[in-house]
Chains A and B, each alone.
Chain A
Amino acid sequence: MEYNWLLILIPGLPLLGAALIAAGAQGRWNRSFLAALGCTAVFLAFVATVLVRLQYNAAAPFGSVHMPLWSWGVDGVGLGLLGDSISTWFALVVTGVGFLIHLYSAAYMADDPSYPRFFAKLNFFIFAMSVLVLADGFVGMLIGWANVGVASYLLIGFWHARPAAAAAAKKAYWVNTVGEIGLILGAIVMLQHFGSLYFADVLPQAWFAPQNVLNAVALLLLAGAVAKSAQLPLHVWLPDAMQGPTPVSALIHAATMVTAGVYLVVRAYPIFEAAPWGLPAVALVGIGSVLFGALAALGQNDIKRVLAFSTMSQVGYMMLGAGVGAYSAALFHFATHAFFKALLFLGAGVVIHRFGGEQDIRKMGGLGKSHPFAYWTFLIGTLALVGLPPLAGFYSKDAIVVGALMAGRPWLWALAVVGAGLTAFYMMRLFALVFTGDSPEVAAFQRGEGARQAAAAAEAGVGRSRPVPPLKMVPLVVLTLLSIVGGFFAMPDLSGVPGAAEGARLAAPPAHEAAVAGRVLTESSAATLTIALLLAVSVIGGGLALQRFGPKRAPQTAESGFVKAAGAGFYFDDFYRAVFVRPLRATAGFVGDVTEPHVIDGAVNGVARLAATLSGAVRRVQSGYVRRYALALMAGVAVVLIYFVLMV
């Protein structure tokens, strides 16, 4: 392991930026300067990440970069930064995409009165996420894990005066707390059993640990991953998290933070692989989320909620990849997904601003004619997500699906293919509703409500073809390019990560080998078959959507029961409300209205009343007449004297 002090800059600079911006906001510094400060901090962190990655590349395949920071004086519990194949891969995307979204935010949030606060929080998020992915043990990972939760809470609730945003922020925090408890319990079990929380100590040993310990640790870690990555059944916070500003949705709730669960599974893969229940559970969660997210996205009418469920579905693919042992493919899909999903969210931000804050896609249309820039960037993002060659999503998603087949899981493979068809359908539905057909003003005119509504719209500044500001355009262009060429990047491999060498020596599972090495696409007829199938279902799904929601769409009819259920997220929220929230509220109400005033206060007041009653009798002795006290004293002395005279 080589030492590199640059590692500390990756989380350090954004943290410094956050502190400076917060201080500067208090001192009423220039807003643009503070925004530039936030962007610069993240950009420098990105540069540091690139330098670390270069050093790692020079040391590859079995080297890594390390920087110990702190120890608590307990064996195996400490904090340090580790740059290896997985962590630098994640850190590159976090700081890189993070920088682009900072740039975009500088324009997108320009009218917000709390502009500096936004950048302080965004910088804080980059700090927390860097700690999460760069930590060299589960301690540092937990620190980062909890802090990204805080950052997510702060940014979802950025417009905290909105009740919906405040409620969504709380919901996200609570659901993630469930996962964090799992993660902390998992860490405790590991510390008990392995005597250390450093990856370098725990993961190589994991291959030889007893199965029940491994099962427990794997399932506890998976609980954390499921909550953070919005996987079934703890996904309910993600759609609500769209209450945050759109750049936040792009950065935290699409590109980076929600993939922390994937990072955890891939990082701790010796545990998951050695535990009998580990990988099957991960794959099950993954495929369930793929299908659930895709189906729920079909029924959403809010542009950001469609993308939120799409994120859930795509992170499900990553989980599926990790669950069938195709770790490289999962990491690869994380990166490409970060590119095109960030692009889609930023594009959605442009769309939302164009429609004056409207987010209902049924009230949109015709943006293709007036906004060719938004049209093309969004189209490329959509096609990359659908997985059309040669765009990025094609390579990464197909690698995962092929990995499922090669791991000998035909059922997972078949369901993943179905998921790809659904993906194409809901994405093309979104695209067609927003960009094709007539704009809402034209549609209103045709319906004959023309003049008044058009005047109102014009007054609100809606529909005017404003040029997209360059600060918004640059990130969109870069992300578009990345969505196009991202598939040509080399797949990350797992050589040199803690635990890999022991695993390879011990029992390299043959089914995974090909996927791990990233050679799946060209190797077998299975791959060819999969690619052909995926393309076919994608084209069919997309075509159906275009036909139904495209320019010649039929007028809106009443929604079918299925669409309604999908729109409501298949009633998961209602289920949790009935099973957890209501009983909790009732318990809280009971405690507040009955236990507190009657039992607790009753006990306290009862003790006080008892003391008052008892003392009421005694206190009359204290008459205040000093001569009476003197008499009592004398009488006491007399009694003692008489006792001694008579008895002794």
Chain B
Amino acid sequence: MPGFAIEGYVIVSVVLFALGIAGVLVRRSPLVMLMAIELMWGAAALLFLAFARQFALMDGHVFSFLILVVGAAEAAIGLGLIVLLFRAREAVDVDEVRELRG
């Protein structure tokens, strides 16, 4: 399949991933951090699909499904934790939750 340009997909994926990292590192709301993580999942999945297309292999498709499933599971647990956190205290700031510090 001549003419398929991988570069665009890679650039979009890198940008998405960087946005996800920035979101996790900068934002203090657990909900937003979760969303940023989802963004990184998406970047990875996109890259898998792009390379699968280039090499004409099915492996990448399989992995993107896996990412969707794991991402969903992670979101379920993460959201559950966040709900519990809200119930336990008023604060929604992850910097306030540091009982496990050494």
Contact = CB atoms under 8 A, between A and B. Distances in A.
Interface in A365-423: none
Contact of B100 (A622, A627, A631, A634): A622
A621 B95 CA distance: 15
B81 to A, nearest CB: 11
A622 B102 CA distance: 5
A614 interface: no
A630 B28 CA distance: 12
Contacts of A620: 102
B25 A626 contact: no
B1 to A, nearest CB: 29
B95 A627 contact: yes
B95 A625 contact: yes
Nearest to A615: B102
B101 A623 contact: yes
Contacts of A630: 24-25
B50 to A, nearest CB: 19
Most chain B Cβ neighbours within 10 Å, of A621, A630, A634? A630
Contacts of A619: 102
Contacts of A626: 94, 97-98
Nearest to A616: B102
Contact of B101 (A624, A627, A631, A634): A624
B67 interface: no
Interface in A199-243: none
Nearest to A634: B21
A150 B94 CA distance: 69
A627 B24 contact: yes
Interface string A65-78: 00000000000000
Interface in A597-648: 618-627, 630-631, 634
B99 interface: yes
Given A626-B97, A627-B94, A634 B102 contact: no
B99 A627 contact: no
B101 A622 contact: yes
A112 to B, nearest CB: 65
Interface in B54-102: 94-95, 97-102
Contacts of B28: 627
A626 to B, nearest CB: 5
Contacts of A624: 97-102
A266 B76 CA distance: 88
Nearest to B21: A634
B93 to A, nearest CB: 10
A625 B98 contact: yes
A540 B44 CA distance: 119
Interface in A490-509: none
A619 B28 CA distance: 23
A618 B101 CA distance: 12
A634 to B, nearest CB: 6
A440 to B, nearest CB: 83
A590 B97 CA distance: 52
A621 B102 contact: yes
Contacts of B97: 624, 626
Nearest to A637: B21
A623 B97 CA distance: 11
A113 B71 CA distance: 80
A625 B24 CA distance: 12
Contacts of A618: 102
Contacts of A623: 98, 101-102
B101 to A, nearest CB: 3
A632 to B, nearest CB: 11
A627 B98 contact: no
Contacts of B102: 618-624
Given A626-B94, A627-B94, A634 B99 contact: no
A151 to B, nearest CB: 61
Which of A625, A631, A634 has most B Cβ within 10 Å?
A: A625
A124 B99 CA distance: 64
A625 B33 CA distance: 13
A621 B102 CA distance: 7
Nearest to B24: A630
A630 to B, nearest CB: 5
A631 B98 contact: no
A631 B21 CA distance: 9
B25 A634 contact: yes
A631 B95 CA distance: 14
Interface string B1-21: 000000000000000000001
The 4 closest A-B pairs by CB, nearest first: A624-B98, A624-B101, A619-B102, A622-B102
10 contacts: A624-B100, A625-B94, A626-B94, A626-B98, A627-B24, A627-B25, A627-B94, A627-B95, A630-B24, A631-B25
Interface of B: 21, 24-25, 28, 33, 94-95, 97-102
Given A622-B102, A623-B101, 11 more contacts: A619-B102, A623-B102, A624-B102, A625-B95, A625-B98, A625-B101, A626-B94, A627-B24, A627-B25, A627-B33, A627-B94
